[in-house]
């Protein structure tokens, strides 16, 4: 199979797939400023919680890359803080963004105790590269742990994109499928189109076709009927933030899919790295939900589909209660019937 590298460091810039160009063309963009990374995150050129975290780490380095090698350490640390705060404002829901920035800030302070500005900058680039490489290894482990869970099933429904293009490489929800294909298992994937930005039809279907995995795109409002017709054996999705009790925020529409799966007695799984868990939030009701511009609904992809001046409610995410989740698949293992005690154990 061919895995698409979503982003990687290329000499003096971040090279990444511009996902707004999919599926018509696979375009790589080179970004050499912090502002460019902020815009890429905000405009959804890069998306998916792990990939956003990866991009933010490189964005922080780009924000200080041109700082003088012999400059003041104190001034550099201040610039690190300001850059992190700036990048943190790009999107509010995906916790990996804040996790990566906190890790970069902590690393800068650690190195400052034994080196100058040049050493701090060098260490920040190395830390950003380490975050990306850990993402690849983590997603592979999610695939290894998740394949035995999905192995009894053949037809898998997913919502939005939690494949390789949402991470550095393998993905989260699609990782068990990729591992299974490598081992000779035959899967067929049903991909919800994922309104209003169509990440399922534009991105999930694109990368599965690239990997020669059978995929069928269906409208979001078709998923429940597909379950009723016996076309779906299991559901697996990713997550942008998971609360300490197992409630999981994912792309808007996921909650409805989970309800439909529950009604049809179809197992519903979430796949995510430990970095996606927010152990400070007791329940999903505390997860901040991003609301995006109404034009994404009324003028999707440049065509007007609603009357001028109509009110629009356009949350980017919803929260699926833990009681609807059969298991959460992580790099540390599989958490069956997630609850507060089981989830908090992952933090140890």
Question: Which residues does the annotation mark as catalytic?
Answer: 240
Q: How far apart are CA 135 and CA 168, in angstroms?
A: 6
For 216, other C-beta atoms within 10 Å of its C-beta total: 14
Please give the structure tokens belonging to residue 92.
Answer: 């509010």
Beta strand 7-9 with 14-17 is antiparallel
Query: What whole-number distance in Å separates Cα of residue 311 and Cα of residue 65?
Result: 43
CA-to-CA distance for 297 and 35, rounded, in angstroms? 26
Antiparallel, parallel or unpaired: β 241-243 and 14-17: unpaired
Taking the CA atoms of the chain, what radius of gyration do you get in angstroms? 20
Determine phi and psi for 217, rounding to 5 degrees.
Answer: -90, 135
Q: How far apart are the first and last CA of the chain?
A: 35
Other CB atoms within 10 A of residue 240 CB: 31
């Amino acid at each position: 199979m061919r895995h698409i590298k979503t982003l990687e460091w290329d000499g003096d810039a971040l090279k990444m797939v511009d996902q707004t160009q999919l599926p018509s063309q696979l375009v790589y963009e080179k970004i050499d400023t912090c502002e460019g990374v902020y815009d890429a995150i905000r405009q959804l050129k890069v998306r998916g919680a792990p990939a956003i975290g990866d991009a933010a780490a490189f964005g922080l380095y780009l924000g200080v890359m041109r700082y003088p090698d012999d400059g003041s350490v104190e001034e550099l640390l201040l610039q690190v803080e300001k850059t992190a705060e700036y990048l943190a404002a790009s999107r509010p829901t995906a916790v990996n963004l804040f996790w990566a920035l906190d890790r970069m800030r902590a690393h800068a302070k650690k190195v400052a105790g034994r080196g100058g500005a040049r050493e701090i900058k060098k260490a920040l680039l190395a830390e950003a590269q380490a975050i990306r490489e850990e993402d690849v290894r983590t997603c592979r482990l999610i695939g290894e742990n998740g394949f035995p869970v999905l192995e009894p099933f053949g037809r898998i429904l997913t919502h939005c994109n939690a494949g390789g293009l949402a991470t550095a490489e393998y993905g989260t929800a699609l990782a068990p499928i990729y591992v299974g294909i490598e081992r000779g298992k035959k899967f067929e994937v049903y991909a919800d189109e994922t309104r209003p930005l169509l990440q399922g039809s534009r991105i999930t279907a694109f990368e599965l076709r690239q990997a020669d995995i059978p995929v069928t795109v269906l409208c979001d409002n078709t998923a429940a009927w597909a379950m009723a017709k016996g076309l779906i054996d299991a559901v697996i999705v990713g997550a942008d933030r998971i609360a300490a009790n197992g409630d999981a925020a994912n792309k808007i529409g996921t909650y409805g899919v989970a309800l439909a799966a529950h009604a049809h007695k179809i197992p519903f799984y979430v796949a995510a790295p430990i970095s996606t868990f927010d152990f400070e939030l007791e329940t999903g009701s505390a997860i901040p939900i991003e609301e995006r511009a109404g034009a994404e609904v009324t003028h999707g992809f440049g065509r007007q589909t609603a009357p001028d001046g109509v009110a629009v409610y356009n949350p980017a995410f919803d929260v699926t209660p833990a009681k609807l989740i059969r298991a959460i698949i992580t790099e540390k293992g599989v958490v069956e019937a997630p609850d507060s005690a089981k989830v908090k154990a992952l933090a140890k």
